[in-house]
Homo-oligomer: A and B are copies of this chain.
Protein backbone atom coordinates (compact mmCIF):
# COMPACT_ATOMS: atom_id res chain seq x y z
CA UNK A 1 0.00 0.00 0.00
CA UNK A 2 1.62 3.26 -1.14
CA UNK A 3 0.32 6.66 -0.15
CA UNK A 4 1.91 10.09 -0.72
CA UNK A 5 3.74 9.45 2.59
CA UNK A 6 5.35 6.24 1.28
CA UNK A 7 4.35 2.65 1.85
CA UNK A 8 2.53 1.60 5.01
CA UNK A 9 5.57 -0.53 5.84
CA UNK A 10 7.99 2.38 5.51
CA UNK A 11 5.70 4.72 7.47
CA UNK A 12 5.33 2.16 10.23
CA UNK A 13 9.06 1.51 10.50
CA UNK A 14 9.72 5.23 10.70
CA UNK A 15 7.39 5.50 13.72
CA UNK A 16 9.23 2.86 15.75
CA UNK A 17 11.42 4.25 18.49
CA UNK A 18 12.93 2.61 21.55
CA UNK A 19 11.98 2.76 25.20
CA UNK A 20 11.49 6.14 26.83
CA UNK A 21 14.55 6.52 29.10
CA UNK A 22 12.78 8.73 31.65
CA UNK A 23 9.94 6.28 32.11
CA UNK A 24 12.44 3.41 32.36
CA UNK A 25 14.34 5.22 35.08
CA UNK A 26 11.17 6.17 36.92
CA UNK A 27 10.03 2.55 36.85
CA UNK A 28 13.36 1.24 38.16
CA UNK A 29 13.27 3.76 40.99
CA UNK A 30 9.66 2.96 41.80
CA UNK A 31 10.40 -0.80 41.89
CA UNK A 32 13.14 -0.11 44.42
CA UNK A 33 10.70 1.67 46.78
CA UNK A 34 8.04 -1.03 46.79
CA UNK A 35 7.53 -3.14 49.92
CA UNK A 36 9.64 -6.11 48.85
CA UNK A 37 13.36 -6.83 48.81
CA UNK A 38 14.94 -5.05 45.84
CA UNK A 39 15.12 -7.27 42.79
CA UNK A 40 13.12 -10.05 44.44
CA UNK A 41 10.63 -10.21 41.59
CA UNK A 42 13.32 -11.04 39.06
CA UNK A 43 12.15 -11.03 35.48
CA UNK A 44 8.74 -9.55 36.41
CA UNK A 45 10.48 -6.33 37.45
CA UNK A 46 12.20 -6.14 34.07
CA UNK A 47 8.89 -6.62 32.27
CA UNK A 48 7.26 -3.82 34.25
CA UNK A 49 10.17 -1.50 33.49
CA UNK A 50 10.03 -2.38 29.79
CA UNK A 51 6.30 -1.68 29.62
CA UNK A 52 6.77 1.66 31.39
CA UNK A 53 9.45 2.57 28.86
CA UNK A 54 7.26 1.42 25.99
CA UNK A 55 4.24 3.40 27.19
CA UNK A 56 6.42 6.38 28.08
CA UNK A 57 4.81 6.59 31.50
CA UNK A 58 5.33 5.11 34.95
CA UNK A 59 3.38 3.16 35.96
CA UNK A 60 2.28 2.04 32.51
CA UNK A 61 -1.39 1.33 31.81
CA UNK A 62 -2.59 -2.19 32.50
CA UNK A 63 -2.03 -4.07 29.20
CA UNK A 64 -5.60 -5.21 28.67
CA UNK A 65 -7.69 -6.23 26.94
CA UNK A 66 -5.50 -8.67 25.07
CA UNK A 67 -6.18 -10.04 21.59
CA UNK A 68 -4.61 -13.25 20.35
CA UNK A 69 -4.14 -12.78 16.60
CA UNK A 70 -3.78 -16.16 14.93
CA UNK A 71 -2.22 -15.85 11.47
CA UNK A 72 -2.97 -18.85 9.25
CA UNK A 73 -1.38 -20.00 6.03
CA UNK A 74 -0.29 -23.02 4.04
CA UNK A 75 3.17 -23.93 2.81
CA UNK A 76 4.30 -25.25 -0.55
CA UNK A 77 7.20 -27.03 1.12
CA UNK A 78 4.56 -29.41 2.51
CA UNK A 79 5.07 -31.26 -0.81
CA UNK A 80 8.51 -32.31 0.44
CA UNK A 81 6.89 -34.48 3.16
CA UNK A 82 8.33 -32.40 6.00
CA UNK A 83 5.39 -33.27 8.27
CA UNK A 84 3.04 -36.22 8.74
CA UNK A 85 -0.01 -33.92 8.97
CA UNK A 86 -2.15 -33.45 5.82
CA UNK A 87 -2.39 -29.89 4.55
CA UNK A 88 -6.20 -29.76 5.00
CA UNK A 89 -5.64 -29.66 8.74
CA UNK A 90 -4.73 -25.95 8.50
CA UNK A 91 -8.23 -25.04 7.36
CA UNK A 92 -9.83 -27.60 9.66
CA UNK A 93 -8.07 -26.09 12.64
CA UNK A 94 -9.11 -22.58 11.59
CA UNK A 95 -12.71 -23.83 11.69
CA UNK A 96 -11.99 -25.27 15.12
CA UNK A 97 -10.69 -21.87 16.35
CA UNK A 98 -13.80 -20.15 14.98
CA UNK A 99 -16.04 -22.72 16.67
CA UNK A 100 -14.22 -22.13 19.97
CA UNK A 101 -13.01 -25.71 20.25
CA UNK A 102 -9.22 -25.36 20.22
CA UNK A 103 -6.63 -25.02 22.96
CA UNK A 104 -6.16 -21.32 22.23
CA UNK A 105 -9.87 -20.73 22.85
CA UNK A 106 -9.62 -22.39 26.27
CA UNK A 107 -6.65 -20.22 27.26
CA UNK A 108 -8.37 -17.14 25.86
CA UNK A 109 -11.41 -17.89 28.02
CA UNK A 110 -9.24 -18.24 31.12
CA UNK A 111 -7.50 -14.92 30.48
CA UNK A 112 -10.55 -13.02 29.25
CA UNK A 113 -8.91 -12.46 25.87
CA UNK A 114 -10.27 -12.35 22.36
CA UNK A 115 -9.15 -14.63 19.52
CA UNK A 116 -8.95 -13.25 15.98
CA UNK A 117 -7.96 -15.45 13.04
CA UNK A 118 -6.30 -13.88 10.00
CA UNK A 119 -6.38 -15.90 6.79
CA UNK A 120 -3.05 -14.96 5.24
CA UNK A 121 -3.01 -17.83 2.81
CA UNK A 122 -4.89 -20.97 3.72
CA UNK A 123 -4.98 -23.21 0.63
CA UNK A 124 -8.74 -23.81 0.68
CA UNK A 125 -11.64 -21.38 0.89
CA UNK A 126 -12.89 -20.37 4.32
CA UNK A 127 -16.45 -19.25 5.03
CA UNK A 128 -16.83 -15.72 6.42
CA UNK A 129 -17.00 -15.50 10.22
CA UNK A 130 -16.99 -12.55 12.66
CA UNK A 131 -13.71 -13.80 14.20
CA UNK A 132 -12.03 -14.22 10.79
CA UNK A 133 -10.19 -11.57 8.79
CA UNK A 134 -9.98 -12.66 5.17
CA UNK A 135 -6.69 -11.31 3.85
CA UNK A 136 -5.47 -14.14 1.68
CA UNK A 137 -2.33 -12.90 -0.08
CA UNK A 138 -2.13 -16.15 -2.02
CA UNK A 139 -3.50 -19.65 -1.36
CA UNK A 140 -0.36 -20.90 0.34
CA UNK A 141 3.29 -20.31 -0.51
CA UNK A 142 5.15 -22.05 -3.32
CA UNK A 143 7.55 -24.90 -2.54
CA UNK A 144 10.75 -23.04 -1.69
CA UNK A 145 12.88 -26.04 -2.62
CA UNK A 146 12.03 -25.36 -6.29
CA UNK A 147 11.05 -21.66 -6.49
CA UNK A 148 10.70 -18.63 -4.20
CA UNK A 149 7.99 -19.06 -1.57
CA UNK A 150 6.30 -15.87 -2.79
CA UNK A 151 7.02 -12.71 -4.77
CA UNK A 152 8.56 -9.69 -3.14
CA UNK A 153 5.30 -7.78 -3.56
CA UNK A 154 3.42 -10.56 -1.82
CA UNK A 155 5.89 -10.52 1.06
CA UNK A 156 5.42 -6.78 1.53
CA UNK A 157 1.66 -7.12 1.22
CA UNK A 158 1.64 -9.90 3.84
CA UNK A 159 3.66 -7.75 6.25
CA UNK A 160 1.26 -4.87 5.66
CA UNK A 161 -1.73 -7.09 6.42
CA UNK A 162 -0.14 -7.70 9.82
CA UNK A 163 0.40 -3.97 10.34
CA UNK A 164 -3.23 -3.27 9.41
CA UNK A 165 -4.46 -5.94 11.82
CA UNK A 166 -2.39 -4.38 14.62
CA UNK A 167 -3.63 -0.89 13.77
CA UNK A 168 -7.26 -1.95 13.67
CA UNK A 169 -7.10 -3.93 16.92
CA UNK A 170 -5.32 -1.14 18.74
CA UNK A 171 -7.80 1.42 17.41
CA UNK A 172 -10.57 -0.74 18.85
CA UNK A 173 -8.93 -0.84 22.28
CA UNK A 174 -6.56 -3.83 22.38
CA UNK A 175 -3.63 -3.03 24.66
CA UNK A 176 -1.73 -6.34 24.47
CA UNK A 177 -1.24 -8.35 21.30
CA UNK A 178 -0.42 -12.04 21.40
CA UNK A 179 1.00 -13.74 18.32
CA UNK A 180 -0.76 -16.90 17.20
CA UNK A 181 -0.23 -19.08 14.16
CA UNK A 182 -1.66 -22.03 12.30
CA UNK A 183 -0.11 -23.60 9.23
CA UNK A 184 0.74 -27.24 8.69
CA UNK A 185 4.49 -27.40 7.94
CA UNK A 186 5.13 -23.89 9.25
CA UNK A 187 8.02 -24.88 11.50
CA UNK A 188 9.97 -25.56 8.27
CA UNK A 189 9.96 -21.98 6.88
CA UNK A 190 10.42 -20.75 10.46
CA UNK A 191 13.62 -22.78 10.76
CA UNK A 192 14.75 -21.50 7.35
CA UNK A 193 14.15 -17.88 8.40
CA UNK A 194 15.95 -18.38 11.71
CA UNK A 195 18.87 -20.11 9.98
CA UNK A 196 19.38 -17.15 7.64
CA UNK A 197 18.66 -14.34 10.09
CA UNK A 198 20.87 -15.76 12.85
CA UNK A 199 23.52 -17.18 10.47
CA UNK A 200 23.08 -20.65 11.93
CA UNK A 201 23.25 -24.00 10.14
CA UNK A 202 19.77 -25.40 9.33
CA UNK A 203 20.35 -28.64 11.23
CA UNK A 204 20.90 -26.62 14.43
CA UNK A 205 17.64 -24.69 14.24
CA UNK A 206 15.33 -27.39 12.89
CA UNK A 207 13.17 -29.37 15.30
CA UNK A 208 10.53 -32.03 15.31
CA UNK A 209 7.62 -29.61 15.12
CA UNK A 210 4.37 -31.24 16.11
CA UNK A 211 6.09 -34.61 16.17
CA UNK A 212 8.07 -35.92 13.21
CA UNK A 213 10.10 -39.12 13.07
CA UNK A 214 13.78 -39.44 12.10
CA UNK A 215 13.13 -39.89 8.38
CA UNK A 216 10.80 -36.87 8.20
CA UNK A 217 13.28 -34.87 10.24
CA UNK A 218 16.02 -35.63 7.70
CA UNK A 219 13.72 -34.56 4.85
CA UNK A 220 12.93 -31.35 6.73
CA UNK A 221 16.58 -30.39 7.22
CA UNK A 222 17.44 -31.35 3.64
CA UNK A 223 14.55 -29.26 2.28
CA UNK A 224 15.76 -26.20 4.16
CA UNK A 225 19.32 -26.78 2.98
CA UNK A 226 18.13 -27.09 -0.64
CA UNK A 227 16.02 -23.93 -0.33
CA UNK A 228 18.89 -21.92 1.08
CA UNK A 229 21.29 -23.25 -1.56
CA UNK A 230 18.85 -22.42 -4.35
CA UNK A 231 17.98 -18.87 -3.26
CA UNK A 232 21.09 -17.81 -1.31
CA UNK A 233 19.01 -15.33 0.69
CA UNK A 234 20.77 -12.21 1.96
CA UNK A 235 20.23 -11.74 5.70
CA UNK A 236 20.53 -7.96 5.34
CA UNK A 237 17.38 -7.99 3.18
CA UNK A 238 14.66 -9.44 5.46
CA UNK A 239 11.89 -8.99 2.88
CA UNK A 240 14.05 -10.89 0.43
CA UNK A 241 14.51 -13.70 2.96
CA UNK A 242 10.73 -13.91 3.47
CA UNK A 243 10.26 -13.94 -0.30
CA UNK A 244 12.71 -16.79 -0.75
CA UNK A 245 11.95 -19.18 2.12
CA UNK A 246 9.35 -17.55 4.37
CA UNK A 247 5.71 -18.12 5.07
CA UNK A 248 2.68 -15.87 4.84
CA UNK A 249 1.86 -16.14 8.55
CA UNK A 250 5.46 -15.31 9.51
CA UNK A 251 5.27 -12.22 7.27
CA UNK A 252 1.91 -11.23 8.78
CA UNK A 253 3.22 -11.69 12.30
CA UNK A 254 6.29 -9.58 11.50
CA UNK A 255 3.85 -6.87 10.45
CA UNK A 256 1.77 -7.32 13.60
CA UNK A 257 4.91 -6.84 15.69
CA UNK A 258 5.94 -3.75 13.72
CA UNK A 259 2.46 -2.27 14.02
CA UNK A 260 2.30 -2.92 17.76
CA UNK A 261 5.76 -1.49 18.22
CA UNK A 262 4.95 1.68 16.26
CA UNK A 263 1.87 2.16 18.46
CA UNK A 264 3.91 1.43 21.61
CA UNK A 265 1.68 -1.52 22.48
CA UNK A 266 3.39 -4.65 23.85
CA UNK A 267 3.31 -7.88 21.89
CA UNK A 268 3.63 -11.28 23.56
CA UNK A 269 5.40 -13.78 21.32
CA UNK A 270 4.36 -17.41 21.23
CA UNK A 271 6.85 -20.01 19.97
CA UNK A 272 9.18 -20.64 17.07
CA UNK A 273 6.93 -19.19 14.35
CA UNK A 274 6.67 -15.95 16.31
CA UNK A 275 10.40 -15.98 16.99
CA UNK A 276 11.10 -16.22 13.24
CA UNK A 277 8.69 -13.35 12.59
CA UNK A 278 10.30 -11.34 15.38
CA UNK A 279 13.71 -11.74 13.73
CA UNK A 280 12.23 -10.32 10.51
CA UNK A 281 10.78 -7.39 12.47
CA UNK A 282 14.08 -6.85 14.25
CA UNK A 283 15.94 -6.86 10.92
CA UNK A 284 13.51 -4.29 9.51
CA UNK A 285 13.39 -2.11 12.64
CA UNK A 286 15.85 -3.04 15.40
CA UNK A 287 13.98 -0.99 18.00
CA UNK A 288 10.83 -3.05 17.49
CA UNK A 289 12.35 -5.44 20.05
CA UNK A 290 11.32 -2.88 22.69
CA UNK A 291 7.70 -3.98 22.28
CA UNK A 292 8.40 -7.72 22.40
CA UNK A 293 7.91 -10.05 25.36
CA UNK A 294 8.79 -13.72 24.90
CA UNK A 295 5.84 -15.71 26.22
CA UNK A 296 7.53 -19.08 26.35
CA UNK A 297 10.41 -21.18 25.14
CA UNK A 298 9.27 -23.66 22.53
CA UNK A 299 10.95 -27.05 22.39
CA UNK A 300 11.99 -26.23 18.79
CA UNK A 301 15.75 -25.54 18.90
CA UNK A 302 15.40 -22.51 16.63
CA UNK A 303 13.32 -20.73 19.26
CA UNK A 304 16.15 -20.49 21.78
CA UNK A 305 18.60 -19.33 19.12
CA UNK A 306 16.19 -16.66 17.88
CA UNK A 307 15.35 -15.42 21.39
CA UNK A 308 19.05 -15.13 22.14
CA UNK A 309 19.54 -12.85 19.15
CA UNK A 310 16.46 -10.86 20.17
CA UNK A 311 17.79 -10.58 23.71
CA UNK A 312 14.54 -11.89 25.18
CA UNK A 313 14.07 -14.20 28.14
CA UNK A 314 10.97 -16.39 27.94
CA UNK A 315 8.44 -16.24 30.77
CA UNK A 316 7.40 -19.90 30.54
CA UNK A 317 9.35 -23.11 29.87
CA UNK A 318 6.95 -26.01 29.96
CA UNK A 319 7.94 -28.09 26.91
CA UNK A 320 5.06 -26.64 24.88
CA UNK A 321 5.17 -27.16 21.13
CA UNK A 322 1.62 -26.48 20.04
CA UNK A 323 1.55 -23.06 18.48
CA UNK A 324 -1.82 -21.29 17.99
CA UNK A 325 -0.51 -18.64 20.39
CA UNK A 326 -0.83 -20.97 23.37
CA UNK A 327 2.54 -20.25 24.96
CA UNK A 328 2.09 -16.51 24.54
CA UNK A 329 -1.45 -16.49 25.87
CA UNK A 330 -0.48 -18.50 28.96
CA UNK A 331 1.82 -15.63 29.95
CA UNK A 332 -0.84 -12.89 29.73
CA UNK A 333 -1.60 -13.06 33.44
CA UNK A 334 2.06 -12.74 34.37
CA UNK A 335 2.50 -9.65 32.24
CA UNK A 336 -0.59 -8.07 33.75
CA UNK A 337 0.61 -9.01 37.25
CA UNK A 338 3.97 -7.36 36.56
CA UNK A 339 2.22 -4.10 35.74
CA UNK A 340 -0.23 -4.36 38.64
CA UNK A 341 2.67 -4.81 41.04
CA UNK A 342 4.47 -1.71 39.78
CA UNK A 343 1.22 0.25 39.85
CA UNK A 344 -0.46 -0.94 43.04
CA UNK A 345 2.09 -2.10 45.61
CA UNK A 346 2.71 0.22 48.54
CA UNK A 347 6.08 1.83 49.13
CA UNK A 348 8.07 1.27 52.32
CA UNK A 349 7.23 4.81 53.36
CA UNK A 350 3.51 4.67 52.70
CA UNK A 351 3.08 1.25 54.34
CA UNK A 352 5.23 2.03 57.36
CA UNK A 353 7.55 -0.89 56.69
CA UNK A 354 11.22 -0.60 57.63
CA UNK A 355 13.40 -0.71 54.51
CA UNK A 356 16.51 -2.80 54.99
CA UNK A 357 18.42 -1.00 52.23
CA UNK A 358 17.61 2.44 53.58
CA UNK A 359 18.50 1.26 57.11
CA UNK A 360 21.83 -0.12 55.87
CA UNK A 361 22.60 3.01 53.92
CA UNK A 362 22.02 5.04 57.05
CA UNK A 363 24.25 2.77 59.09
CA UNK A 364 27.02 3.39 56.59
CA UNK A 365 26.82 7.14 57.01
Cross-chain contact B105 with A344 (CB below 8 angstroms): yes
Given the contacts A42-B299, A44-B318, A344 and B106 also touching, CB distance less than 8 Å: yes
How far does the alpha carbon of A360 sit from the alpha carbon of B212 in the complex, in Å? 12
- Pick the contact of A319: B43, B93, B319 (CB < 8 A): B43
Cross-chain contact B337 with A89 (CB below 8 angstroms): no
**Copies, count:** 2
In the assembled complex, A340 has its CB within 8 A of some CB on chain B = yes
User: Nearest Cβ in chain B — how far from A270, in angstroms?
Assistant: 12
In the assembled complex, A353 has its CB within 8 A of some CB on chain B = yes
Number of chain A residues whose Cβ lies closer than 8 Å to a Cβ of chain B: 62
Cross-chain contact B351 with A99 (CB below 8 angstroms): yes
Q: Which residues in B have their C-beta under 8 angstroms from that of A86?
A: 354, 356, 359
How far does the alpha carbon of A41 sit from the alpha carbon of B106 in the complex, in Å? 13
In the assembled complex, A333 has its CB within 8 A of some CB on chain B = yes
Cross-chain contact B110 with A41 (CB below 8 angstroms): no
Could you list 19 examples of A-B contacts with CB < 8 Å? A34-B103, A35-B93, A36-B103, A37-B321, A40-B321, A43-B318, A44-B318, A44-B330, A85-B356, A89-B353, A89-B356, A101-B344, A102-B346, A107-B337, A109-B344, A110-B336, A111-B337, A315-B316, A318-B334
Chain A residues packing against B (C-beta within 8 Å): 34-44, 84-86, 88-89, 92-93, 95-96, 99, 101-103, 105-107, 109-111, 210-211, 299, 315-322, 326, 330, 332-334, 336-337, 340-341, 343-346, 350-354, 356, 359-360
